[in-house]
Amino acid sequence: MDKEKRIVLTGFMGVGKSTVARFLASLLKCEKIDLDAFTEQAERRTIAEIIHTEGEAHYRKIETENLRRVLSNNKAQIIALGGGAWTIEENRRLIKEQNFTTVWLESSFEHCWRNIRLSKRERPLAANKQQALRLFDERQRFYCLADWHFIIKPDLSSFEIARKIAEEIFSMKFN
Ligand code: S3P
């Protein structure tokens, strides 16, 4: 098993990055960091509050600063990004510099949208379906740049996705 590999999960809002990261960390018995949660803790306010009060451009600067801090924490082997982080060139450069393997959780827009709607978390950049769909389409070309692409079928649970990643990327064996 390739225990040394460190991975970053990316993909659109609602695809399940945080949950998959949690299961993956428990399968690999390693530490994970969720960039959104880390940012909210560091800033002592929610991402929605930051975006509403200071705008998206300022939020992206805060996000990059926190990504830098998360990447330099050598204990975290799995990092779940927020859906927009990988679309920023500087963030991709920082992630590559630290030799992380990037994994795109790829799924249909409808799947993500259903989860966005069901979730209690406010996502200011996906306030309505039209806005979310436009972002989804614009971002495919960035997500495509990830090292691995995992197609998320709606019938797969987050645990099953984490298991597949553990098998394929970390060569873990399950019976
Ligand atoms: C964003 C995604 C969110 C959060 C912020 C912006 C985006 O994270 O970082 O609301 O631009 O796609 P999730 O992907 O975890 O929802």
Per-residue pLDDT reduced to its tens digit, 11-53: 999 999 999 999 999 999 999 999 999 999 999 999 999 999 9
pLDDT at 1 over 80: no
What is the predicted pLDDT for the residue at 3? Answer: 66
**Ligand 1 pocket test, candidate residues 8, 10, 13, 65, most atoms within 8 A of CB:** 13
Instruction: Collapse the DSSP code of 28 into the 3-class scheme (helix H, G, I; strand E, B; otherwise coil) and give the result.
Output: helix
User: Nearest Cα to 145, choosing from 109, 91, 75?
Assistant: 91
- pLDDT tens digits, one per residue of 111-169: 999 999 999 999 999 999 999 999 999 999 999 999 999 999 889 999 999 999 999 99
Cβ of 82 less than 6 Å from ligand 1? yes
Atom of ligand 1 nearest to the CA of 18: 15
d(CA 103, CA 100): 9
Nearest CA to ligand 1 atom 9: 82
Percent of the chain with pLDDT over 70: 98
**81, 60, 120, 160 alpha-carbon torsion, rounded to 10°:** -10
Distance CA 147, CA 51 (A): 29
Using a 6 Å cutoff on CB, does residue 47 contact ligand 1?
yes
What is the pTM assigned to this prediction?
0.96
Q: What is the pLDDT of residue 4?
A: 78
Q: Is 11 near ligand 1, meaning CB less than 6 Å away?
A: no
Confidence of residue 73 (pLDDT cuts 50, 70, 90): confident
User: Is the model's pLDDT at 55 over the cut of 60?
Assistant: yes
Q: Which residues share a beta bridge with 102?
A: 8
Total residues belonging to the chain: 175
- The pLDDT confidence band at residue 2, using thresholds 50, 70 and 90, is low
Which residue lies with its CA nearest to atom 16 of ligand 1?
Answer: 13
